[in-house]
Chain A
Amino acid sequence: MSVAMDRPRRRETPLRLTVTRFLDHRAALASAVVLVVLVLLALAAPLAEHAMGLDANEVDLLNRFAAPSATHPLGTDELGRDMALRLMYGGQVSLFAGLATALLAAVIGTLIGLPAGYFGGWLDSLLMRLTDSVIALPLLPLLIVMAAIDLNKLGVPPEIATSPNVSLYRIVLIIALVGWTTVARLVRGAALSLRERDFVLAAIAQGAGPMTVMFRHILPNAISPIIVATTLSVGAIILLESVLSFLGLGIQPPIASWGNMLTNAQDMIYEAPALAVFPGLAIFATVIAFNFLGDGLQDALDPKAFRE
């Protein structure tokens, strides 16, 4: 008998298997660490502001385009504002927009996919036609139109339409409105197969209503693909947010986001090409980390995909 077989086997619960597989995925693990650091950095913006004795929005025209130094670790922008601090505040906005939009889109997708798969029939064909149609649309042009509409004409009260954070909430809302399709299809597929399973039939036989069956019995069993799809969508959403903000249609100044920091950088591309580097790198690093994380979660949560 070999030594390996003598070793007492660890109890293998599904959760432990998942965690082991995730830890095996080194790129995903590194991404998780990077993301935690990025979130902490973004949240620490006010602290850093205090420690450095600077104000992220303070204009210092005598000190424009300063090179990196002890006082300004990443230099200053075209108005003499500290680049590092603005990146940290921009991170708060971009990360919030990415996560909030992904969650909202997942909720919408679940609310559409769950009844479609569970009830089937005409409701299913109607909702899935809707999903297919939204998938078939050219997203970016449509988002540009939605970002350009006048909230006053939509009947939004002026005090809300002019509040400073409205550009952030608007971006979250419009991207979620077109971004729910993947989750809807996954949830529908899961519901379609789960509704035939014995535990669901047992619940129905015991008199559980459709709401209980869908949300208590089917949804918890369909959660893995939702988590993977939502994680993978965060990256794409941050890219969309950044390009809309870059085009001047997303997050509006004075709120800094990684996208709108690049708008000014483009105008200054000949004078100060370095300005464009850091916000872009921040977006790049965040998106690639979310994509690796999603990849890792997919492998970890799906035992069949485990490599041979």
Chain B
Amino acid sequence: MTRYVLRRVIESVAVLLVMSFVIYGLMALMPGDPIDIMVQSDPNLTPADAVRLKALYGLDKPITERYGNWLGAAAQGDFGYSRIHNRPVLEILGPRLWNTVILMGLAMIVSLALAVPIGVFSALRPYSWADYAINFVALGGISVPVFWLALMLIVLFSVVLGWLPAGGMGMAGEAGFWEQARHLVLPVVTLSVATVGGLTRFVRASMMEVMRDDYIRTARAKGLPRRVVVFKHALRNAMIPVVTILALSFGSLFSGALITETMFSYLGMGKLIYDSIIGNDYNMALVSLLFATGLVLASNMAADLCYGWLDPRVSYR
């Protein structure tokens, strides 16, 4: 077990290192570099100045050497400054991460609260009209473009009805908790709709498989009430793969959060990544992207470990 965890950690760090080089290389291929941007915004700088500045900041060196320098600094905790925010990148990352955790966490709770009962309901009546209807709606949730759903919700609830704000966060001290909660409603609904369909289908499939197992037949045969069979024997076992899929779907949930945050001007990690890539904020983009990758890798690892903890039949090599 310890060996397994150790191997997974080493593997994840290796993937993260490779990714840092790949993303660093991709960033270097993006249009313009920091000095070009400086030269454009300051007419007093001559091309000779630009060459001198590039030499000063080491931008004339080959990509591998620049990456080595970045990695060396990063290893000592120096991840550089953000060009847009004019502050160290780690200072900006913290609060943004917290906002994304709130958004994703709430969406996850809402999705689970809907997907588990609906999925179980569906699984107990396979191929009934209710099952088909639920499957249809769930597939609709998977198929809806998240950014369009956000647009439609804004049109309906902000433009036409005027009930909810179209975006932003709600100022903390000024308006207080309820104002912030009002700003969270549409983003959480959007992200939940994007998640709940797939989750429902998964709960249904898992539950149907468990209901075919021998121990369910045994439980029924010995005359246990249906309620006990379903909730105590079947549901608990059916939830094992669901927990795994939750952790494994962290990456796609994060992609959904990026779209949602961008659509609602919600100041989270996703919007941070998008804004820094679009705004040529290289340090910020690199670190936030790597951080997101690290989170996804960690959640995948957590999924595998959870699986063994919940299901003792699984053994680690």
Q: Which of B113-155 contact A (CB under 8 A)?
A: 126-127, 132, 136, 139-140, 142-148, 151-152, 154-155
State in angstroms the CA–CA spacing of A243 and B149 once bound together. 12
Is B283 engaged at the interface, CB distance under 8 Å to the other chain?
Answer: no
Residue ID in chain B nearest A129 by CB atoms = B11
User: Is A145's CB under 8 angstroms from B151's CB?
Assistant: no
List, in ascending order, chain A residues with CB within 8 A of B258's CB. 140-141
User: Is A141's CB under 8 angstroms from B145's CB?
Assistant: no
User: Is B145's CB under 8 angstroms from A276's CB?
Assistant: no
Is A46 engaged at the interface, CB distance under 8 Å to the other chain?
Answer: no
Could you say which of B38-46, B178-186, B227-235, B248-256 contacts chain A? B248-256
Count B-side interface residues using an 8 Å CB cutoff: 50
List, in ascending order, chain B residues with CB within 8 A of A142's CB. 23, 289
User: How far apart are A228's CB and chain B's nearest CB, in angstroms?
Assistant: 15
| Count: A-B pairs, CB below 8 Å | 128
List, in ascending order, chain B residues with CB within 8 A of A239's CB. 143, 145-146
Is B199 engaged at the interface, CB distance under 8 Å to the other chain?
Answer: no
State in angstroms the CA–CA spacing of A137 and B15 once bound together. 10
Is B99 engaged at the interface, CB distance under 8 Å to the other chain?
Answer: no
State in angstroms the CA–CA spacing of A283 and B146 once bound together. 11
Could you say which of B68-76, B88-96, B292-300 contacts chain A? B292-300
User: How far apart are A80's CB and chain B's nearest CB, in angstroms?
Assistant: 22
State in angstroms the CA–CA spacing of A169 and B83 once bound together. 32
Secondary structure dominating the interface of B: helix
State in angstroms the CA–CA spacing of A289 and B273 once bound together. 32
User: Is B159's CB under 8 angstroms from A269's CB?
Assistant: yes
User: Is A148's CB under 8 angstroms from B277's CB?
Assistant: yes
Is A288 engaged at the interface, CB distance under 8 Å to the other chain?
Answer: yes
List, in ascending order, chain A residues with CB within 8 A of B23's CB. 142, 145
A284 contact from B145, B154, B296, Cβ within 8 A: B145
User: Is A287's CB under 8 angstroms from B145's CB?
Assistant: yes
Could you say which of B26-34, B218-226, B306-314 contacts chain A? B26-34
Q: Known: A139-B255, A269-B159, A276-B155. Contact between A145 and B285, CB under 8 A? A: yes
Q: What 1/0 flags go to A230-265 for Cβ under 8 Å of B?
A: 000001000100110011000000000001001001
State in angstroms the CA–CA spacing of A146 and B26 once bound together. 7
User: How far apart are B1's CB and chain A's nearest CB, in angstroms?
Assistant: 20
User: Is A280's CB under 8 angstroms from B159's CB?
Assistant: no
Q: Which of B232-289 contact A (CB under 8 A)?
A: 251-252, 254-255, 258-259, 262, 270, 273-274, 277-278, 285, 289
Secondary structure dominating the interface of A: helix
Is A209 engaged at the interface, CB distance under 8 Å to the other chain?
Answer: no
Residue ID in chain B nearest A137 by CB atoms = B293
Q: What 1/0 flags go to A132-147 for Cβ under 8 Å of B?
A: 0101111111101110
List, in ascending order, chain B residues with CB within 8 A of A235's CB. 142-143
Is B172 engaged at the interface, CB distance under 8 Å to the other chain?
Answer: no
State in angstroms the CA–CA spacing of A295 and B278 once bound together. 37
State in angstroms the CA–CA spacing of A146 and B140 once bound together. 29
Is B6 engaged at the interface, CB distance under 8 Å to the other chain?
Answer: no
Is A266 engaged at the interface, CB distance under 8 Å to the other chain?
Answer: yes
State in angstroms the CA–CA spacing of A150 and B25 once bound together. 12
A273 contact from B132, B155, B259, Cβ within 8 A: B155
B278 contact from A135, A148, A149, A277, Cβ within 8 A: A148
Can you pick out 24 interface pairs between chain A and chain B where the beta carbons lie within 8 Å of each other?
A: A136-B15, A136-B297, A138-B255, A138-B289, A141-B258, A141-B292, A145-B30, A148-B31, A149-B26, A150-B29, A150-B31, A235-B143, A259-B145, A262-B148, A269-B159, A280-B148, A280-B151, A280-B152, A284-B144, A287-B145, A288-B139, A288-B143, A291-B143, A295-B139
Q: Which residues of B contact A (CB under 8 A)?
A: 11, 15, 18-19, 23, 26-32, 126-127, 132, 136, 139-140, 142-148, 151-152, 154-155, 159-160, 251-252, 254-255, 258-259, 262, 270, 273-274, 277-278, 285, 289, 292-293, 296-297, 300
